[in-house]
């Protein structure tokens, strides 16, 4: 069912890719997704500081940015990183660049059967303290362990979010 949902999501985006600027942004985001494993070789605070972009003007809506980020993350299927991590970090980068003060959350929980002694992780975004386009069944069971940025501020903006 998840794979079908991903295919439908990608197909919804196809009409928008008729425009060169959308294709260019998708290529940029896909390239970023491919770089993520190397970026995450360093300690997480340093990696997140490098991933966090400067804020600039944006001609894109938040929905367009989120959709393109999601499809870019889906396209990099050979990544050693989980889809939730690729999606969250790609969304984080592109939305923060547009001045939307999302915060990336990392959480953990016990894996359950058949390996109750192991942990599993999840990454998601929040905006103004609430999950950002993330269904409750994906994040609610996870205990947040790290967030970035810790303050939730977007440097260089006066967003009162």
What is the per-residue DSSP string for 28-69?
HHHHHHHHHHHHTTS-HHHHHHHHSPPP----S-HHHHHHHH
Residue 22 has pLDDT above 80, yes or no: yes
Q: Which token pair is 125?
A: 């975004």
Task: Give the pLDDT confidence score for residue 158 in this predicted structure.
Answer: 38
So where are the chain's domains?
Answer: 2-148
Among 10-14, 39-43, 80-84, 118-122, the least confident range: 10-14
Separation of alpha carbons 29 and 138, rounded Å:
23
pLDDT at 120: 86
Q: Crossing angle for the helix pair 20-39 and 44-51, nearest 10 degrees?
A: 160
**What does each C-alpha distance from 124 to 16, 25, 148 come to in angstroms?**
25, 22, 11
- CA-based angle 8:14:15, to the nearest 5? 125
Mean pLDDT of 81-98: 96
Spatial distance between the Cα atoms of 127 and 89, rounded to a whole number of angstroms: 14
pLDDT of residue 154: 45
**CB-count exposure of residue 122 (10 Å: 0-12, 13-18, 19+):** buried
Query: What residues have CB less than 8 Å from 89, skipping those under 6 apart?
Result: 36, 51, 104, 123
pLDDT given for residue 12 in this prediction: 62
**Of 6 and 141, more confident:** 141
pLDDT band, very low/low/confident/very high, at 34 (cuts 50, 70, 90)? very high
- Please tell me the predicted confidence (pLDDT) of residue 138: 77
Give this prediction's pTM: 0.81
How confident is residue 161, by pLDDT bands cut at 50, 70 and 90? very low
Average pLDDT, rounded, for the chain: 84
pLDDT of residue 141: 83
């Amino acid at each position: 069912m998840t794979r079908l949902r991903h295919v439908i999501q990608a197909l919804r985006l196809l009409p928008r890719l008729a425009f060169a600027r959308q294709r260019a942004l998708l290529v940029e985001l896909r390239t970023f997704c491919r770089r993520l494993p190397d970026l995450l070789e360093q300690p997480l605070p340093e990696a997140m500081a490098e991933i966090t972009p400067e804020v600039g003007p944006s001609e894109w809506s938040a929905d367009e940015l989120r959709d393109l980020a999601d499809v870019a993350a889906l396209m990099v299927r050979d990544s050693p990183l989980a889809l939730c991590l690729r999606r969250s970090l790609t969304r984080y980068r592109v939305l923060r660049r547009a001045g939307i003060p999302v915060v990336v959350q990392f959480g953990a929980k016990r894996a359950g059967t058949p390996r109750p002694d192991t942990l599993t992780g999840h990454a998601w975004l929040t905006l103004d303290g609430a999950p950002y386009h993330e269904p409750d069944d994906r994040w609610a069971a996870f205990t947040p362990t790290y967030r970035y940025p810790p303050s939730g501020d977007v440097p260089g903006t006066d967003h009162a979010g």
